[in-house]
Structure 1
């Protein structure tokens, strides 16, 4: 199975000046654990995850004053839609992260998470979808 089969294609993209509260509200509203941060000044892509927000708040920082820029990971490992899920899981394991931005022709086309990979592997093993939780499986 390939990354393109597992990735979420609705990518939340924010700017570097979004506050962490704004980012968290947008991520919660979309029910996603990460946002692509696009900096028009540098044309660079980064990623802000729920863990980044949690770490900031846990350190006592003000989510209304802290910006995405200050907490964005810019040394990002990108995946290709043609990677296997095993390749994506290996990159996540080696890098110690749970989300990969998927690029096609240098454009973000999706995000794949550990949850996406586990869902696909579980469905491939024959587990039935859990009707109480869309996208989840009953095991």
Structure 2
């Protein structure tokens, strides 16, 4: 199966000036573990994950003051829509990631997460009804 078939196409996009609380609230409302961060003044796409928010809170930072732009990952590993789910899983395992932004020609198409991969693998391995 290809990444395009397993990825979440509904991507939460936030800007670098959103507070961590705003981003966390939007992530919680949409029940997602990441937000793509697009900064019009920067090249590329960043990602803010639940882990980034957790680290900031654990460090005692004020989530009403801290901005997403200061806590996101710019060094993102991107997946292509034509990658296999196995290739995406291997990239996640190598890098210690739980989310990959799916890009094609510089455009964000979706995000694939460990949850997406587990969902695909468990449904494809489910026993046939008797």
**What band does the TM-score fall into relative to the shorter chain?**
over 0.9
Aligned to 1:55: 55
Q: Unpaired segments of 5 or more residues in structure 2?
A: none
Aligned length: 128
Q: C-alpha offsets along residues 106-126 of structure 1, whole Å, 9 cap, x if unaligned? A: 100100000100110000002
Runs ≥4 in structure 1, deviation > 3 angstroms? none
1:120 aligns with 2:120: yes
Cα distance in 2, alignment partners of residues 7 and 127 from structure 1: 23
Q: Unpaired segments of 5 or more residues in structure 1?
A: 129-139
Shift of 1:127: 5.4
TM-score (norm 2): 0.95
**SS of aligned partner of 1:108:** strand
TM-score (norm 1): 0.89
Aligned to 1:20: 20
Q: C-alpha offsets along residues 53-104 of structure 1, whole Å, 9 cap, x if unaligned? A: 0111011100001110110100000001110011000000110110000012
Of structures 1 and 2, the one with the larger relative CO (CA 8 A, separation 6+) is 2
